[in-house]
Structure 1
Amino acid sequence: MTSSSAEPEDTSGNTAHTAGRRVRSRAAGLRRRPLLVALLILCISAAAIFAVTSFVEHQWQAAAQARFDARTERVTTRLRRLLSASETVLYGARAALDLSPSMTSAAWQQYVEKLELDSSALPIRALGYADVASASTGIIGNSPLTGRHLSVTLLAPAGGLVRPDLFDQDSFVHAALLRAAQDNQVALAVHFASDVDAAADNEAVLLLCLPRYSGSTVPASPEAHRTSPRGFLFASLDTRRLFEPLVAGRPSIELNVQAGRPGAFIYATDSGSVEAPATTSLFRKTDTLTYGGMPLTLVYTANGSASATGADVVNGTILLMGIGVAFALAGLAYALTATYAKNMLMPGVATLNEARMMGIIRSSMEAIITIDEAQTVVIFNPMAEHVFGVSAMEAVGAPLSRFIPERFRQAHGRHVEQFGVTGVSERLMGRQRVLFGLRANGEEFPIEASISQIRDATGKLYTVMLRDVTERLRADNALKQSREELRDLSANLQNVREEEKTRIARELHDDLGQQLTALKMDLSAVEQTLDAHPPAQPDAIASVSGQLLSMRLLIDSTVASVRRIAADLRPVMLDDLGLVPAIEWLANDFTNRYGIDVERHIDPGDTRFAKRGATTVFRIVQEALANVARHADATLVVLTLETEGGYCVLRIVDNGRGTDAGVRTHIERGAHADKSFGLIGIRERAHMLRGTVTIDTSRDRGFALTVAFPLHAIEAEDPIP
């Protein structure tokens, strides 16, 4: 008996030892878990920080490059404006000399002083006139001016000319004189004269030359232009006054300028080199500005390193903040995991967790209802009491159907049964159609719901989380109504704008055009009167005739500008000839302006466009071609207009650089995937005629825009042929 009673004691001891070892092993595992979780969070955060800093640096550098390109473009534009302003001064000087052919040096000095060139923003150093005179030896080269030479007769301020024999000895200047004489336009030349006092601080001087003919009468042929100039007006430009103000407000940009081909150096900023070490980047852009027959090559450079653009400061800030957040998250994860492990090792954890869960359910802002397999309510939290207007005491033990409208009860019962078998539910909060609940007072209201299930000792329990979305639906409906009203307002504004453009275009074309034509006729009458009754002084009649000719040319230019502005506002042929001729005109004008070929396939069949439909299609084509000119960098555009399957389909495809917007992006109503206002305008115009807009694009594979209109929306009882 003694030996038989000892075996159970050993067995219970081994069982207790094994159980204790299992408890200790589980406790050790729970104690190690917080550190592992914290390390995992720290590694994930470090990877995220690295990705974010790399992305931010790339975007920051791209933005810096874009700002550099925009600044250099503004500098080039301003340079062109300065040269044009200097050219205007030269034309004014020629007019003044034509009015006073026998002007003396003193009078010329007084005229130039009134221009106040030193105090103006213009780079003109001196203004003068060189007369063409016969000579025993001609100027250099084989030219129609052989046998003649140029002598400077007028010059102000004194000493502004770089060399007396400049016009007879310098080949660059001579070539510019030939261009000016042949084209009767201003020509630009570069002269190197560092050994002359007038340009001692400048090794290069730019000259603007303009021919002058006897009696202000311009010869009829280019050959006569070259052989009969009476003299040349010229303006010497100070390169430092020309280029330094352009980059004065942009200290980070360096400018190097070369003239002609091959390029001859004429200017460079002296603020120091921007050449960065090999490990950093350098922004560089080259623009070519051809003015007066001479190309000017502008080379812009700027330090594009991260330290120069500020990217390193931004990355450093993000890195420090990211490290702080990473350690904070790791510490929080460690604390939460350690608290959980501690609670799991304490007795009565299940009871404590259940109490906490009930506390969460009671404080939840969502209505929570738990039912058993018989669909009887077992939990009804305070928010559910508020939503349904029923106390928990009344709800617990009642069937769930009490809170569902009668017409939905059968379907809801089948859904719960299916969920109990498959565990799959269609009802996920915010991702389903709106359901309806029933309040205690009989009022139905919209809800969103999600359902889950658990199994305990008594069977399955289903928990439903409900959200009253009455206010949200009311706000959504108000938003939809507001959106429709805004679309109607936008459509009305488009119509008013088209009508105003039409009115202004017709007034410009009819009224102002007729007035300019009448003015030109009056001018012709004055010319005829002068021819019939010449005055006693032939030089005076020649000068007046030249001025009248200039006025005629100015009127012709003004008439052309009026017609162009009127056509840009609204082509008259759109109303007079119809949509197809208007599109043909628009394509030809686009090719003439931008040099981009437009291949046309226009076959609308028997479609007769209403005025509104024709205007909409024309404006869409106009905006699409404008986008190609601004962004595509294309050489060919294919324009197709045809009817198929009850739709009028417009398709515009270019071979430009495309975008990264995706292989195929469909512009849905209200979507703003593309930030281009041009595309948004096209979408809104198409929407007014119930049309759809589709974009096909990818990087370096062009851009295709397709607009489809229902035929019944673009045809009307009073169509345009």
Structure 2
Amino acid sequence: MSLFWRIFGLNALVLGAATALLLWAPVTVSVPVVLTEAVILLAGLAVMLVANAALLRIGLAPLERLSRLMSTVDLLRPGQRLPVPDQSGVAELIRTFNAMLERLETERATSSARVLSAQEAERRRIAAELHDEVGQSLTAVLLGLKRAADQAPEPLREDLRQAQEITRESLDEVRRLARRLRPGVLEDLGLIAALTSLATDFAAHTGLRVVRRLENGLPPLDRESELVLYRVAQEGLTNIARHAEAGSAVLALRRTGGGVVLEITDDGRGIGPAREGAGIRGMRERALLLGATLDLTALPEGGTRLRLTVPTARPEPDGPPPPAAPSSPPENRKNA
């Protein structure tokens, strides 16, 4: 029975009972109204109102749950579904809404995969241009300044050496940016070496103490899984430096029953009730590509824990594979 007929039926039942009482019961209304008669009428009205309220509460409860889910649903946290009642006028509506959520989650995952794939390709292109063009130009300028400083008189030599030092610092910064955009050590030496280099570089530039707990003997991971793990670790450490006001952080990577767990903890002020920013949502989008789970929780003793659980066995994506990285000459040991 649909919701309309259930509400209509109960109202008809209550009104019919009231009409029958007025027609056949020996109850009359005096003029002026006697106190006993007024009490009976008010009691009947109260019974009618309570019965209607109870039916509406029961009948419209699935709609209220649906409304709450519609206002709080987040496609970056898949799996939010409403149970379909066995006998309810809104069962078909809830089934349609659940199907719509599933379709939207699939479309969001596919579009995110394409966007992130294009983003990684663009990062590789910019990193190659920084390394091959800007880096080589700064190197040529550095060599020219060195030759000029060696031949210049003493008053001018000091200025040229200062310009040479500034150029060297700029060259190091360009190389650091290129490494962040395109982690060549990840492609050349693997995930453990890349995370070690990332933690060392982060500690050197922020002054925070980073404790590494990286296990060897991890299960085989494809290139996409390693890249997601590296990018999430990169973004997690960056968020600690920007917002946590922490003194130390722990970067851990370990094997679990069904995959690999990346965990980053800090001793900062915690996440609090603030709304998630673009960095955290970007990490959630990357986790969706692998069917992974990303949890961000505040620690009881203070600080924040970020945990990414990546399954080793996952279904093949429906979208096209990410474009291959453009070939570029390997960086030397100093640049890595």
Cα drift, residue 506 of structure 1: 1.5
What TM-score do you get using the length of structure 1 for normalisation?
A: 0.33
Residue aligning to 2:252: 640
Which amino acid is 1:619 matched to?
A: R
Paired residues of 1:657 and 1:699 also in contact (CA < 8 A): no
1:588 to 200, 207, 214: 200
Q: Tell whether the 8 Å contact from 1:657 to 1:702 is kept in structure 2 after alignment.
A: yes
**Residue 354 of structure 1: CA displacement?**
4.7
Q: Is 1:517 aligned to 2:139, yes or no?
A: yes
> Equivalent residue for 1:614?
226
Check 1:606–1:487 CA distance in 2 against 1; reply closer, same or farther (3 A cut). closer
Contact kept? 1:610, 1:714, Cα under 8 Å: no
**Quick one: structure 1 residues 520 and 646, their matched pair in 2 at CA, closer, same or farther if it must change by over 3 Å?**
same
CA shift digits 1:409-435 (9 cap, x unpaired): xxxxxxxxxxxxxxxxxx993278434
Q: Are the counterparts in 2 of residues 634 and 655 from structure 1 also a CA contact under 8 Å?
A: yes
What's the CA shift for 1:621?
A: 0.9
The residue identity in structure 1 corresponding to 2:292 is G
Equivalent residues in 2 for 1:532-571, closer than 5 Å: 541-571=153-183
Shift of 1:602: 0.9
1:641 to partner: Cα distance? 0.8
Alignment of 1:429 onto 2:61? yes
1:150-549 aligned within 5 A: 345-347=35-37, 350=40, 354=44, 429-430=61-62, 433-435=83-85, 448=88, 467-471=89-93, 473-526=95-148, 530=151, 541-549=153-161
Q: Distance in 1 between matches of 2:164 and 2:236?
A: 38
* Match of residue 679, structure 1, among 262, 277, 280: 280
8 Å CA contact 1:649–1:708 kept in 2: the answer is yes
Give the unaligned 5+ runs of structure 1. 1-342, 369-426, 437-446, 449-466, 532-540, 662-672, 717-721
Do the aligned partners of residues 511 and 659 (structure 1) sit closer, same or farther apart at CA in structure 2, a change above 3 Å counting? closer
Partner SS state of residue 99, structure 2:
helix
Deviation at 1:573, TM superposition (A): 1.6
Matches of 1:355 and 1:598 in 2, distance apart? 71
Task: Check if 1:656 corresponds to 2:277.
Answer: no
Check the 8 A contact 1:613/1:714 in 2, yes or no.
Answer: no
- Per-residue deviation, 1:583: 0.9
When residues 607 and 356 of structure 1 are mapped into structure 2, their CA distance, relative to the original with a 3 A threshold, is closer
Q: Distance in 1 between matches of 2:130 and 2:229?
A: 24
C-alpha separation in 2, matches of 1:607 and 1:580: 12
Change (3 A) 1:356 1:689: same
Q: For residues 34 and 201 of structure 2, what CA distance do their matches in structure 1 show?
A: 80
Larger radius of gyration: 1
**Cα distance in 2 for residues equivalent to 1:588 and 1:500:** 25
Residue 505 of structure 1, CA deviation? 0.9
**Separation in structure 1 between the aligned mates of residue 266 and residue 40 of structure 2, nearest angstrom:** 69
Identify the residue that residue 599 of structure 1 maps to in structure 2. 211
Change (3 A) 1:544 1:355: closer
CA distance change for structure 1 residues 434 and 571 in 2, over 3 Å: closer, same or farther? closer
Equivalents in 1 of 2:315, 2:90: separation in Å? Answer: 44
Contact 1:602 1:642 in 2 (8 A): yes
Residue 589 of structure 1 aligns to a residue in which SS? helix
Separation (CA, whole Å) in 1 of partners of 2:257 and 2:57: 52
In the TM superposition, residue 493 of structure 1 has moved relative to its aligned partner by 1.6
Separation in 1, partners of 2:238, 2:315: 23
Give the number of the structure whose residues are more often helix, by fraction.
2
Question: Partner of 2:12 in structure 1?
Answer: none
User: Contact 2:149–2:161 (CA<8 Å) still a contact in 1?
Assistant: no
Query: What one-letter code is carried by the residue in structure 2 that aligns with 1:477?
Result: A
* TM-score w.r.t. length of structure 2: 0.65
3-state SS in 1 of match to 2:217: coil
Q: Which has the higher strand share?
A: 1
Against the structure 1 CA distance between its residues 685 and 348, is the aligned structure 2 distance closer, same or farther, given a 3 Å change threshold?
Answer: same
Matched, 1:693 2:325: no
Note closer, same or farther for the CA distance 1:686–1:359 as it changes in structure 2 (3 Å cut).
Answer: closer
Equivalenced residue count is: 268
Gaps of 5+ in 2: 1-32, 66-81, 318-336
Equivalent-residue separation in structure 2 for 1:358 and 1:715 (angstroms): 59
CA distance, structure 1, for counterparts of residue 301 and residue 54 of structure 2: 53
What residue in structure 1 maps to residue 308 of structure 2? 707
